[in-house]
Structure 1
Amino acid sequence: MTARYCSLAQAPAPAFAPGLAAERLSALVGGRRMWVDGAVLHYWFFGRDTDASVIPVPGTGMTGRVPWAGAEEQRDVVRACFREWQDLGIGLVFAEVDDRSEAELRIGFQLGDGSWSAVGRDALLADRNERTMNFGWDLTAPGGRGTALHEIGHALGMLHEHQSPCAGIHFDHEAVYAELAGPPHHWSREKTHYNILRKLGPDEVNGSVWDPQSIMGYAFSSGLVLEPEQYRAGLHPPGTLSAADKEFVLRWYPPAELPAPPALVPFRSAPLGLGPGEQADFVVDPPETRTYRLGTFGDGDTVVVLFEERDGEPRYLAGRDDGGTPHNATISARLVKGRRYDVRVRLYSAWGSGETAVMCW
């Protein structure tokens, strides 16, 4: 049986200011799609007949609607896979909601559109009426659970393992193009190159070594892989979370610390004292209802995210990423007295000699 492959949409290369130091650029590339730790990612399933793709009907000159709704048994597979990732003890929480406007992840089941997902925080760039994840085949069939785990891995910020420059995989390019040009994929050479043959940069990979057992890898049939020699007869990951998958996601999203985060008091800066990849969390109890600004100071590349606590759960309000710019991340938001807000700051890199700090004013 021909393997079915995830098809990521081609994303434009990130634009960073010229002349950045190599270490600073490496930190930016490696972390720009990752969520801040402690976030609650809300997911929602498309379910209405009006949620659909409009596509041409061959030979008719007309268009038809292909719905995005999925049967309950398909949704249950996805729910179970969200729980499997979360049950590793990661510092993220997945929560299903019944209002699309509150969902960072919006999931469709359009058959024939392939299985794919936005990678990490790229999901925030999608319109509220658009999918950030799709499943294009039956998830209750053999291999379907592995597909759901794979796409959720992308939603966590992970990329394809077989494209790692650490893998040392040499493909028979023309054989790969021919394989993917036929059913069930019907991919163009450009899509095949982007999802299979293109090598990731060393700062984009999921780990420092290749993991052939990773849930983020593809299965390849005989004759597609030339090297390593032991995979000429085929490469077949088990479709489960590997030890390296678990290590990677726990490194980026460690379990939340038990001590309560400190208060961020208006007009009083709080030093960050972070190393690359580390995060600091604060709470804000606004003394009055008004528009506040929250931002960082110092020579550091950061992402700052603001949440409002609702029913004991943080809900995303705004975020700002100053990575690769000479400016500091600043958010302007109306905060309401009597409500509590969470501010989370993750440092990509510190590139100056001074202290980095965060303040609310």
Structure 2
Amino acid sequence: MPGRYCSLVQASAPAFAPGLTAERLSALVRGHRMWVNGTVLHYCFLDRDGDASVIAVPGTAETRRVSWVGAKEQQDVVRECFEEWQGLGIGLSFVEVGDRSEAELRIGFQYGDGSWSTVGKDALRVGTGERTMNFGWDLTAPGERGTALHEIGHALGMLHEHQSPFAGIHWDDEAVFAELAGPPNFWDRERTFFNILRKLDGDEVNGSAWDPQSIMEYAFPPGLILEPEQYRAGLNPPGTLSPLDKEFALRWYPPLAAPEPPALVPFRSAPLRLGPGEQADFTVEPPQTREYTVGAFGDGDAVVVIFEVRDGEPRYLAGQDDGGTERNATVRARLVKGRRYFVRVRLYSSWGSGETAVMCW
């Protein structure tokens, strides 16, 4: 039986500064979609009467509205899958909210639109009235719970395993195009190429080896894969989190240390002393209400994010990634006296001998 496949949202490729060393470019490509650790990802289910797509009626000039609202039993599957990822002990956490303006992840259930998600921080580029994730079929059907785990994996920053250059898959391209052109997917050649046949850059993939058991791996029927030979009869991952999936999540989002982060005092720099992929966290309690700038200094590529603590939770306020340019990442935001903020700095790579630091002013 043909499988129903996730169709990734096609986002524009990031533009990095020219002339970067291979090491710096690799670090930037690998990390640009990943959240800083300690982020609380708020999700909401789109449930208003007006939450719908307007689609054309085939063969006519008419349009009709197709709802994004999902039944409670569908939503419950997604809730359980957020809890499963959270249960690994990762440093990210997931909180359901009712206000879409407070949600980084906005989830719809439009049947016929496929199942898909933005990847990692790409969700922040989507307007608050739009979905960042959709489920296009019944998640309560046997074997379909893995769809929710898969799409949440994308929201964490993971990509499709079968597109890894380490997989060594030799496809029967025309058989793949024909398979996906028919029901239940009805994909054109461009979408099939983007989601299946296209090879990712080695720096983009989830790990240094192909994981055919990954939740991010599709199942494929016989006749599509020519090599490796053992998959000519089909590839059938279990639809659960594999050991390498768990390792990836915990490597990027390790459990947060219990001690309170140090305070970042205005006009006083704090050394970072970070290695590639490491992160430093600080608290800020502004002495007055005004526009502040928070910035990184030194010979390193980094992302700087400010969170405001509201109702006991850090809410994403602003962030900037220096994109490998010679300028350092700086963020301007209005901070309010009496409120509490977190500043989180993650280093992609260090390309000089000097120390890096962060300052609020």
Aligned residue number for residue 254 of structure 1:
254
| Unpaired stretches in structure 2, ≥5 consecutive residues | none
Aligned residue number for residue 152 of structure 1:
152
- Whole-Å separation in 2 of the counterparts to 1:341 and 1:2: 49
Give, as a single letter, the amino acid of the residue that structure 2 aligns with 1:330: T
Q: What is the CA distance between 1:323 and its match in structure 2?
A: 2.1
Aligned pairs, how many? 361
Aligned residue number for residue 235 of structure 1:
235
Q: Would you say the 8 A contact 1:8–1:195 is kept in 2?
A: yes
After TM superposition, the structure 1 = structure 2 runs for residues 16-165 of structure 1, keeping only pairs within 5 Å, are 16-165=16-165
TM-score, length of structure 1 as denominator length: 0.99
Q: What is the CA distance between 1:299 and its match in structure 2?
A: 1.3
Q: Would you say the 8 A contact 2:15–2:323 is kept in 1?
A: no
Give, as a single letter, the amino acid of the residue that structure 1 aligns with 2:115: S
- Whole-Å separation in 2 of the counterparts to 1:312 and 1:64: 42
Aligned residue number for residue 324 of structure 1:
324
Q: Would you say the 8 A contact 1:323–1:348 is kept in 2?
A: no
CA deviation profile, 1:210-243 (whole Å, cap 9, x unmatched): 1110000000000111111011000000000000
Q: What is the CA distance between 1:297 and its match in structure 2?
A: 0.7
Give, as a single letter, the amino acid of the residue that structure 1 aligns with 2:9: A
Q: What is the CA distance between 1:11 and its match in structure 2?
A: 2.1
Q: Would you say the 8 A contact 2:180–2:187 is kept in 1?
A: yes
- Which region of structure 1 is more displaced relative to structure 2, 8-17 or 194-203? 8-17
- Whole-Å separation in 1 of the counterparts to 2:181 and 2:78: 28
Matched, 1:358 2:336: no
Classify the secondary structure of the residue corresponding to 2:82: helix
Cα-Cα RMSD? 0.7
- Whole-Å separation in 1 of the counterparts to 2:10 and 2:334: 36
Q: Would you say the 8 A contact 2:36–2:346 is kept in 1?
A: yes
Give, as a single letter, the amino acid of the residue that structure 2 aligns with 1:8: L
Give, as a single letter, the amino acid of the residue that structure 2 aligns with 1:305: V
Q: Would you say the 8 A contact 1:274–1:347 is kept in 2?
A: yes
CA deviation profile, 1:9-62 (whole Å, cap 9, x unmatched): 222222111110000000000000000001100000001120110011122311
- Whole-Å separation in 1 of the counterparts to 2:12 and 2:56: 27
Q: Would you say the 8 A contact 1:7–1:115 is kept in 2?
A: yes
- Whole-Å separation in 2 of the counterparts to 1:78 and 1:271: 41
- Whole-Å separation in 2 of the counterparts to 1:334 and 1:198: 43
Q: Would you say the 8 A contact 1:286–1:335 is kept in 2?
A: yes
Aligned residue number for residue 285 of structure 1:
285
Classify the secondary structure of the residue corresponding to 1:3: coil
CA deviation profile, 1:55-107 (whole Å, cap 9, x unmatched): 11122311100010000000000000000000000000000000000000000
CA deviation profile, 1:301-324 (whole Å, cap 9, x unmatched): 111110011121101100111021
Classify the secondary structure of the residue corresponding to 1:233: coil
Give, as a single letter, the amino acid of the residue that structure 1 aligns with 2:265: V
Aligned residue number for residue 198 of structure 1:
198
Matched, 1:341 2:308: no
Q: Would you say the 8 A contact 1:295–1:331 is kept in 2?
A: yes
- Whole-Å separation in 2 of the counterparts to 1:171 and 1:181: 16
Q: Percent identity?
A: 78
Q: Would you say the 8 A contact 1:114–1:136 is kept in 2?
A: yes
Give, as a single letter, the amino acid of the residue that structure 2 aligns with 1:201: D
Classify the secondary structure of the residue corresponding to 2:79: helix
Aligned residue number for residue 263 of structure 1:
263
Give, as a single letter, the amino acid of the residue that structure 1 aligns with 2:354: G
| Unpaired stretches in structure 1, ≥5 consecutive residues | none
Q: Which runs of 4+ in 1 moved over 6 A?
A: none
Classify the secondary structure of the residue corresponding to 1:168: coil
Q: Would you say the 8 A contact 2:17–2:323 is kept in 1?
A: no
Aligned residue number for residue 312 of structure 1:
312
